[in-house]
Each structure stands twice: as structure tokens, then as C-alpha cells.
Amino acid sequence: MRRIVIAVALVAAAAVIFIVGRGLGAEPLRVSSTGARYAVTVVVDRPTTGRVSVEVQVTSGDADTVAVSAVMPDMGHSTPELTARETAPGRFVADGELFPMSGAWEVSIRLDGPAGEEVLTVNALVTG
């Protein structure tokens, strides 16, 4: 009987750690990057696998179009580019499946406008 109680307690503890760990790992991501033509702040409310919303705030430069994609260098994975829609002047949002698995990703932001095209990169740690 004692072994059953210990086993149940261990399973319950593992479930709590799993649930709490998933919640902690999905904290909002907010990172900035500056290039020669543009500067951006990238916000991902829930950096997790599956469908995400990525907001790109152009803080310097005048971008007409913005697109995002991701690469996981350690695993050799990459994702197709997601075209962002302009929601306000200098604010763009891209929705879609950007991170197919957990891990360290490099997010590329491709901007194009009167100053020309530039690709900026930020890092993202994706959980669950």
C-alpha cells in the first residue's frame, strides 16, 4: 500500500512540474534588433509550438512590407516565410505556424521599403 501512495505522489508531483513548467516557459518574448536601414522590436505573446502571432514594431526606418521566418540551426529546421499585415503605421503582425518544435530558434525579419531590403535576426527560446 505504501508503494502505491508513493507512486501516486510521484505522478502527481510530475504532473504539477509539467503544468507549471509549461506555463513558465511561455512567457512573452520581447527582443529588439537594429540594422543599417531599420530597427525593430519583435513581440511574441506566447512563444510556443503551433500557431503564434508575431508583432513587429518598426522603430526606425519606413518599411512597406514585413515578413518573418524561423530557423533552428542545431536541428537544421526552417519554416516558410509568413507575410505580416500592417495593423498601424510601423506595426506589423504575422500569424501562423512559426515554431514546429521546442528549442532555440533564430527568427528572421525581412523588411522592405524606400531604403531597400534588409533582414534582421533575433533569437527565441520556444517551449511546449
State in words which class domain 27-126 has.
mainly beta
> Which CA distances in Å does 67 have to 35, 42, 61, 100, 127?
16, 12, 15, 18, 23
90: DSSP letter? T
Domain ranges of the chain: 27-126
pLDDT band at 127 (very low <50, low <70, confident <90, very high): confident
The rounded distance, in Å, linking the Cα atoms of 105 and 95 is 17
Q: Considering all CA atoms of the chain, what is the largest pairwise distance in Å, rounded to the nearest integer?
A: 74
Q: Pinpoint the alpha helices (H) of the chain.
A: 2-25
Above 50 in pLDDT, residue 5?
Answer: no
The pLDDT of residue 10: 34
Return the CA Rg of the chain. 19
pLDDT of residue 68: 98
3 beta partners:
none
Mean pLDDT of 95-118: 96
Query: What pLDDT is attached to residue 12?
Result: 37
Structure confidence at residue 4 as a pLDDT band (50, 70, 90): low
